[in-house]
Structure 1
Amino acid sequence: MKITQAFHFEAAHRLPNVPEGHRCANLHGHSYRIELTLEGPVDPHSGFVIDFFDIEAAFGPLLNTLDHHYLNDIAGLDNPTAELIAVWIWERVKPSLQQLIKVIVYETPDCWAEYDGV
């Protein structure tokens, strides 16, 4: 069974490694959507793969670190592309959510990055 929980945050960033003249080199912001997908058996007693409140508790501190912040100032996010944000989240949440199989970072409703640990 796979389950997914979504989270949202607002943040500003700029991409320092894009070519000169690229519009993403300028300071701008996004309404990000994060999806954490976990996989495992359904516990016959609880009926859960994992309680959604446990996912929220594991990701909550990271969400607070990201929400309404300048991402470039966060340790490990000096080049905060959607791809690198997904890896950053994975590395920090996977130890407490062993069943995690995928992180999706939506930078816009039409643009996203997916990371599965590989």
Structure 2
Amino acid sequence: MKFELKQHFQIESARFLPHLPPSHPCSRMHGHSFKIVLTLVGDLDPKIGWVIDYNDIQAHMKPLLALIDHRVLNEVEGLENPTSELLAKWIFDKARASLPMLTRVSVAETPLTECSYPA
């Protein structure tokens, strides 16, 4: 029996988008409170009664989030152009190594905008 779990995280980071024209506000350094949602799909362990312990998800994510929380994202290897789309893919690619049941990463840079990878 498959279940879908979601674990929410929040980071505070600064960035600028270097490929935009200078007149665009996002070409300048600015910050976001990024909301990150991991979606995992897996089978229920009938003995324990869950798919994975949420504490285990947090433990897997802690070192990864430390690389991007309260950082300038442009200075993180692989995030030189840190759009929300590329941030979602970067997190997915890194987190999937230790969380193979990860199926999606969603990133919201504001309460009104969100993207997911993969779609």
Percent of counterpart pairs with the same letter? 45
Residue-by-residue CA offset, 1:7-63 (whole Å, 9 max, x unaligned): 001010000011231110010000011000000111111111111111111111111
Residue-by-residue CA offset, 1:80-116 (whole Å, 9 max, x unaligned): 0000000000110101101001000111111111002
Deviates more, 1:26-35 or 1:15-24: 15-24
Which residue does the alignment assign to 1:29?
31
Which residue does the alignment assign to 2:76?
74
1:112 to 95, 98, 114: 114
Distance in 2, matches of 1:12 and 1:19, equals 18
Which residue does the alignment assign to 1:87?
89
| 5+ residue gaps, structure 2 | none
Distance in 1, matches of 2:97 and 2:24, equals 36
1:45 to 47, 62, 70: 47
| 5+ residue gaps, structure 1 | none
CA-atom RMSD in angstroms: 1.0
Which runs of at least 4 in structure 1 moved beyond 2 Å after TM superposition?
Answer: none
Aligned length: 117
